Structure 1
Amino acid sequence: MINRPDQKSTPFVEAFVYRYLPYWPLFAILAIFFTALSVGYLRYATPVYEANATILIKDEKKGAEESSLSESMNVLSSKKIVENEVVVLQSRNLADKIVAGLRLYAPVFESGRFGDRSAYTSSPVVITAFNLDQVRTTPNIPFTYDAAARQVRIGAAAYPLDQLVATPYGSLTFSPNPRYKAGSQGPFYFRLIDPKSVAAGLQKKLDVAPAGKLSSIVRLKYNDEVPQRGEDILNNLIHDYNAASIDYKNSVARNTISFVDERMRIVQRELNAVEKQIQSYKAQKGIVDLSEQGKLYLKNVGEIDQKLAEVNMKMAVLGQVEQYVSAKQRDGSLVPSTLGIDDPLLSGLLEKLYQADLERDRLSRTTAENHPVMQALDEQIDKLRPSILDNIRSQRSGLQASQRDLTTTNSTYNSLLQTIPQKERELLDVSREQSIKNSIYSFLLQKREETAIAVASNIPDSKVVETARASVLPVGPNKPFIIGAGLAFALLLSVAYVAWKEGFSRNLLFRDEIGRYTSVPVVAEIAHVDRLKGKLLSAHDNTRVGEEFRQLRVAAGLFSKSNPKKRILVTSSIAGEGKSLVASNLAVNLSLSGKKVVLLDMDLRNPQASRNFGSPQAMGLAEYLEHEVEPYEIIKGTEYKNLYLVSAGNAESNATELLLNGKLAPLFDYLEEAFDFIIMDAAPVHPTSDAYFLTEWSDLTLYIVRHAYTPKAFVQNLDATNRIKTLNNLAIVFNGVKPRGFGSGSFGYGYGHEMRYGQKEPRRRGLRQLLRKLSFQK
């Protein structure tokens, strides 16, 4: 309570508790006040519900792939990335569609006793604007609904339902509310809001996030005052997102089919041109099937070569037969083979010739040449030989003709075979072009059919796992957060008040401030006690203040044997710092120790010490200095044993001039011989210079500064002032130190208002004390 310790060596928590705990009543009052405000706000605040939905995005990198059959059929399937789709779901375009589809730009409200609420499900009508680009924010527009006439009345004007009507607020259509739930009677009003601002607000309130880092599931969250509206917003968001995906695929399909159809027409024209070119070439070259014709040519050439070989063989056989027949001496040799010659006449003639030769050869061994049989055989042989030779010549002539024909035909076929590679190459070039065109046409036809199938089976790239559902209980306002924020604000306000009160005060509040501002030591702290104002200590005073004055006389070295200080000057910066009370009580305290003490009230302008002892008008120092009065005449006894008083008296001249008239020296010589201690209560140093004149008769100067009263500037300038106008052996007494905060004297040394050592002072309760603390009353 009396002072705070040096913050440099104090732990933060201890310093915080020390600084702010004494002000706990302020925090308690503010906490109760702001808690009441929070409870009132929660009582009348509009509840907010949370709607949630879940969708599955087909992301091949996260395991959401289609089956191979579906993927092969769905040529329009696009690869999705969950992170990209999260951005798409939060896009402005989708928000604009939701605002337009749910008519969020024209909200309807129902007026209530304690505030207005949304009439999303209680309004019988909804409002649709004809041109959203022309919608501008309007004030509240009250209206009534006539169910019997199916009319909406705005002021004196009546508007039918389901018709585009011109109103002062633009072209509007009033329609029955499909979500209407009977039971509300109004009154109702609506207002138009710029759709762009509504969409921006919707984007801020919409929360879209993946369920996990490796998950393709996306969770959608939206907080709204109306549960049904929150669900509708999320369901419409999913619907518009899927519709946008399908529209994109359909657009791609339409463009693809259009491109394929155009290409097919071009390829078909080119293919027709190539086919006509092939037809003309084949007709010109006499080609039906070049490959088959080539095979036929080769087959014919082979057959002709075989026939030529047969002809050559027959001619060789005929040559051997002719040689055999022409030979004069056959001697029964074997007839050459007529293999390959199918002429039975030649074969018969040869057989006869051979038999005749065998018979003659057999007879020639036993019969003479001129034997009639032998001659008959020779004649027969001679007849057979010309026939055979004629036959051979005839067959040879036929074979030679066949040989010539076959050779000519073979040469023709060989010539044709030599021209086939060139024709085949030329035809291959044209056929290759035809094949390419055919392949392109078939590919385009296939893709067109695949695209048509994909369009017919087009589905979105996301799957709805959970449709939107709003929470049963409201999620906002957050009661713990609101109440906690109120308590936090109360604490912050309390801390700010304490910081402002103690940090921005121009007067001294803490002892360490004195240590920072001046090098003059502080020898004592005197606690503030209201009931001691203008009063003195008792004879047997064991109170806290009495103990502090005992500490003062010890700290100031008043009983030091080596350096006794008998003449004590008490002064201050300005009036009201309690110097006279300190001087009076110090004199009382010294007298109670058995010392003979005299108190000189030398503040001739404001003799407060004289008033403390009840002698404000008694003859005193002024009479001594102005008139011929002896010192003993102005020394008066008091109710305290060993304590005497020299009152200020009634000065007629200037107080400073009186103090400088030279009569103080004899007075102090007299007092030093008669008393152990001389206490001088001088005027403050800043209004006057009396204390500086009196310092030559003092051994110790007690400079009184008062807590929360003495300006800091006086203490800050004390060192500089004391170097110019010295106050002898200067020491500071910190007077009137009050308990911090709103607590009692229990904050500090443990002394109470009963002024008995070891007892707690009774706690002061009530608004008056709190107001005094808050308003810095001294």
Structure 2
Amino acid sequence: MYPNTPNPSNSGQNPFMVQKEDEIDLKVLLFNYLQYWLLILACMFVGVVVAFMFNRYATNIFKVESSILVVDDKPSLGTDLFESSGLGMLQGKSNIENEIGILKSFSLAEEAVAELNLNVEYYKEGLISTSQIYEKLPILVSVNWRQAQLVGGKFRLEVINEDSFELRVDDDEFRIYNPSDPYYKTSPAESISLKKSVYSFGEEIKGDNYSFTINQIAALPGEIILFNLVDTPSLALKYRGELAVSPINKQASILSLSLETPVRRLGEDYINKLMEVYLDRELDEKNRASENTVKFIDEQLSGISDSLRFSENKLQKYRTENKVFNLSEEGSVIFQRMQELEKEEGQTEISLKYYQTLRDYLVTNQTGDMVAPSVVGVTDPLLNSLVQAYSELQAEQNRLSGNFTDITPAVRENATRIQNIKKQLQENVNSAISNTQNVIADLNSQIRNLEVDVNSLPKTERDLLGIRRQFEFNENIFVYLQEKKAEAEITKAANMPNNSILDFAKAGQSPVAPKRSLNLLIGLILGLILPIGFITVKDFLNTKIEDPKDLENQLKVPLIGMIGRNNSDNAIPVLNELRSSVTESFRSLRADMSYLSPQKNNLTILFTSSISGEGKTFVSINMAAAYALMGKKVMLIGLDLRKPKIAEDFGLVNDMGMSTCLSTDTPWQKVVKSTGHKHMDVILSGPIPPNPAELLLQDKFGEIVKEIKQAYDVVIFDCPPVGLVSETKELFGFADISFFVFRQGYSMKGNSQILNNLVEKGGVSKIYGILNDVHIDKGYGYGYGYGYGYGYGNNSYGYHEEVQLPWWKRALRIK
């Protein structure tokens, strides 16, 4: 019947001193959790309900997306020379990464936010949550951002009528924004309070750190609106952090812009404005080059215009006064040749001025856009490439400096490239200046040679030729500069951004959050995991004996029986509830005695435990009653002289007993009391003596026991806890069979070691374990009261009557 029932022939040594292997029974583990099925089911239901309520009232988040086509930069003539030179002057760059950096830059976000005027956020209260209003605003708040403002906290406005409203602080988590230091905000020195509570629409609401006006649009009486002020730098940081920019794939030059926001239209407007500002900035960079070109030409024209006007007036006056209008044939040939040389000289001098301007630009470390050499007629491909590369690296440095510090590796690396290009450019410019000066000197030499031929002409014609030379020279330069200016203006007018918008911002039709199905699943899983985790941790931290199998594995002696929980108020169910499962468990234990101690007509049984409260007295009394029901003559002896309990259970007075016999000459027959059952007598422990241990160790006690064994068929000792007192160890020698009582949910797991030590170190034999008060089903085979075991419980075959607990207590495992 029991897995470790001893062989009857082994009456001396304990045959059960075997090592048990630790193993995990998955079936037992499963039923350990299934006993809490109602709790787990309730938690799962709560988890799903919480997830449903979260889905119901959570703010919907929409994903807004757009796309931009980025045109890869084509290397200009000669650029590949620097990319492959190995000098580190100009490294190849990823245009896609640069454009992502620009789109994610703080300055671009700040410009977009400023143009959209998003510095006031409006909210409307709901039953549970608050939602932001973006379109169809009931009021309009105008803020004076030129003075300090309270940002972050919320104001609560309640409309009184169409002319007035009540205003108060709803959330005082304010920070003070100072326009003189816009990127640093301070905390108010004291709590914020308004000067009054009722204002009129259009009235300026002004205080130490706030100044704004609220205008009526479509607000109704009784309507409540919340709003808060947000400074532009904070908004720019917010949207910059929320914006995601990435290529649609590794090979494409198309960027996808996305933003998750609870207000779809706001997200669309922001991304569209951001792309607009991004393209405008690119166009402005192109236009700046044309504007610098026009500015340079205008500076040259301002000087040549006066010279041209003066020479024109002088020529006209000379012709009028001398009546000379045309040159002779010889003079015309000389003039034509000189005009060609002077025109070439004038253009060369413009190139020289450009080189000198470019040299001054490099020497003074200016950072503005440079005029392209091709604009002034310089066609040197190397110089053009250097100027273009230098301009691009400077623009890149400006972008990087706007987002990173000077010690950032990317900024330092780009600065090194700029210095390398600048050095090469300075050498090229100095060389070009020297060469240009030589060309001008050669042209001047040719002109001087022609001037010798001019001196052979008549004075009147010679003077006319000189005046006309000056006029034609100025006119040619003026016309040349006007042509270049027109070309630059045409270029500016024709400028278009290289990049373009493929898709304008559009929000998805369904929200990306909350993920309703996933939340319900998470709620269900958490509802399952949390109670299981709680049960696991509770069992792990539980130091009490719960599982009979665990106790059986810990013991080095057999766990011979289990006593179910007594759900009635009767302390002796064996006598009063003959069909109860508890009574049957004692009958089963009584039947096992024939195997534990065979061929004995008289039987002495000892019951002890580790501590009080484990039910050894209850087991002793009911075991005695079980033998009495057989017609055996039973004597129950209370040997717990320190804390007697038997008298209380039988309704007797503990006025005399074993302590009386041992401390006086009173014979044991005088202290025997009737239990009310004709086959069962009891000797109580008697009055508590001052020396209980010494009394039980007297030889007289052995003589009394010997006489009692001769008079009775079964003698049962109710001994004190062996874990607390010492005399019990001496009493084991008087017993044929000893039982160590444990109590489920009460005895400590370490108490099993006390029993093991009695066997291993104390030499106690014929001792077995009993688990009392079994009421928690831990798996197959132990189901007293709740389980699937021997048939003593609620699911048995109907042989026994059992006190039923309410269903909810059985489901929740409430004792």
Answer whether TM exceeds 0.5 for this pair. yes
Report percent identity of matched pairs. 24
Name 1:53's counterpart in structure 2.
65
**Is 1:603 aligned to residue 640 of structure 2?**
yes
Rounded Cα–Cα distance in structure 2 between residues aligned with 1:285 and 1:557: 155
Rounded Cα–Cα distance in structure 2 between residues aligned with 1:100 and 1:762: 79
Which of 277, 280, 288 is equivalent to 2:448? 280
Rounded Cα–Cα distance in structure 2 between residues aligned with 1:249 and 1:611: 106
**Is 1:266 aligned to residue 341 of structure 2?**
no
Task: State the superposition RMSD in angstroms.
Answer: 5.1
Rounded Cα–Cα distance in structure 2 between residues aligned with 1:131 and 1:570: 89
* Kept in 2: contact 1:135–1:195 (CA 8 A): no
* Kept in 1: contact 2:132–2:263 (CA 8 A): yes
Which of 786, 789, 797 is equivalent to 1:749? 789
Name 2:559's counterpart in structure 1.
522
Which of 510, 517, 520 is equivalent to 1:480? 517
* Kept in 2: contact 1:698–1:728 (CA 8 A): no
Return closer, same or farther for 1:471/1:81 CA change in 2, 3 Å cut-off: same
Rounded Cα–Cα distance in structure 2 between residues aligned with 1:97 and 1:16: 64
Which of 726, 743, 747 is equivalent to 1:689? 726
Q: For 1:298-345, what per-residue CA distance to the aligned partner results, in whole angstroms no more than 9, with x for missing partners? A: xxxxxxxxxxxxxxxxxxxxxxxxxxxxxxxxxxxxxxxxxxxxxxxx
Letter in 2 for 1:247: D
Rounded Cα–Cα distance in structure 2 between residues aligned with 1:8 and 1:81: 66
Deviation at 1:453, TM superposition (A): 4.8
Deviation at 1:570, TM superposition (A): 0.7
**Is 1:30 aligned to residue 43 of structure 2?**
yes
Return closer, same or farther for 1:185/1:478 CA change in 2, 3 Å cut-off: farther
Rounded Cα–Cα distance in structure 1 between residues aligned with 2:29 and 2:280: 61
Q: For 1:7-62, what per-residue CA distance to the aligned partner results, in whole angstroms no more than 9, with x for missing partners? A: 964377x57633422222222333333444444444443x324142321323559x
Q: For 1:407-433, what per-residue CA distance to the aligned partner results, in whole angstroms no more than 9, with x for missing partners? A: xxxxxxxxxxxxxxxxxxxxxxxxxxx
**Is 1:116 aligned to residue 153 of structure 2?**
no
Rounded Cα–Cα distance in structure 2 between residues aligned with 1:224 and 1:763: 59
**Is 1:650 aligned to residue 708 of structure 2?**
no
TM value normalised by structure 2: 0.60
Name 1:106's counterpart in structure 2.
120
Return closer, same or farther for 1:542/1:765 CA change in 2, 3 Å cut-off: closer
Letter in 2 for 1:121: E
Letter in 2 for 1:587: A
Letter in 1 for 2:37: W
Q: For 1:672-701, what per-residue CA distance to the aligned partner results, in whole angstroms no more than 9, with x for missing partners? A: 334454321112234433423322312333
Rounded Cα–Cα distance in structure 2 between residues aligned with 1:739 and 1:51: 53
Deviation at 1:583, TM superposition (A): 2.0
Letter in 2 for 1:33: V
Rounded Cα–Cα distance in structure 2 between residues aligned with 1:35 and 1:724: 57
Alignment of 1:711-730 (within 5 A): 711-716=748-753, 729-730=766-767
* Kept in 2: contact 1:638–1:645 (CA 8 A): yes
Rounded Cα–Cα distance in structure 2 between residues aligned with 1:682 and 1:165: 88
Letter in 2 for 1:237: L
Secondary structure at 1:101 match in 2: helix
Rounded Cα–Cα distance in structure 1 between residues aligned with 2:594 and 2:269: 87
Rounded Cα–Cα distance in structure 2 between residues aligned with 1:204 and 1:648: 84
Letter in 1 for 2:36: Y
Alignment of 1:323-472 (within 5 A): 452-472=489-509
Q: Which moved more, 1:138-147 or 1:695-704?
A: 138-147
* Kept in 2: contact 1:145–1:151 (CA 8 A): yes
Gap runs ≥5 in structure 2: 4-19, 76-91, 168-193, 301-349, 355-375, 377-435, 455-475
Letter in 2 for 1:57: L
Deviation at 1:578, TM superposition (A): 0.8
Deviation at 1:577, TM superposition (A): 0.6
Deviation at 1:223, TM superposition (A): 2.7
Rounded Cα–Cα distance in structure 2 between residues aligned with 1:509 and 1:631: 41
Report how many residues are paired.
598
Name 2:274's counterpart in structure 1.
237
Which of 5, 8, 33 is equivalent to 1:20? 33
Return closer, same or farther for 1:150/1:18 CA change in 2, 3 Å cut-off: closer
Q: For 1:586-622, what per-residue CA distance to the aligned partner results, in whole angstroms no more than 9, with x for missing partners? A: 3344556676543322224444345445545586434
Deviation at 1:502, TM superposition (A): 2.1
Deviation at 1:575, TM superposition (A): 1.8
Rounded Cα–Cα distance in structure 2 between residues aligned with 1:7 and 1:724: 22
Return closer, same or farther for 1:701/1:103 CA change in 2, 3 Å cut-off: farther
Which of 530, 546, 554 is equivalent to 1:509? 546
Rounded Cα–Cα distance in structure 2 between residues aligned with 1:285 and 1:202: 77
Q: Which moved more, 1:684-693 or 1:545-554?
A: 545-554
Which of 88, 91, 94 is equivalent to 2:108? 94
Letter in 2 for 1:120: Y
| Greater radius of gyration (CA) | 1
Rounded Cα–Cα distance in structure 2 between residues aligned with 1:614 and 1:487: 55
Secondary structure at 2:35 match in 1: helix
Name 2:740's counterpart in structure 1.
703
Deviation at 1:648, TM superposition (A): 0.8
* Kept in 2: contact 1:51–1:470 (CA 8 A): yes
**Is 1:192 aligned to residue 192 of structure 2?**
no
Return closer, same or farther for 1:35/1:151 CA change in 2, 3 Å cut-off: closer
Name 2:573's counterpart in structure 1.
536
* Kept in 2: contact 1:571–1:683 (CA 8 A): yes
Deviation at 1:542, TM superposition (A): 7.1
* Kept in 1: contact 2:611–2:722 (CA 8 A): yes
Rounded Cα–Cα distance in structure 2 between residues aligned with 1:513 and 1:101: 74
Rounded Cα–Cα distance in structure 2 between residues aligned with 1:448 and 1:15: 94
Secondary structure at 1:663 match in 2: helix
Secondary structure at 2:773 match in 1: strand
Return closer, same or farther for 1:564/1:708 CA change in 2, 3 Å cut-off: farther
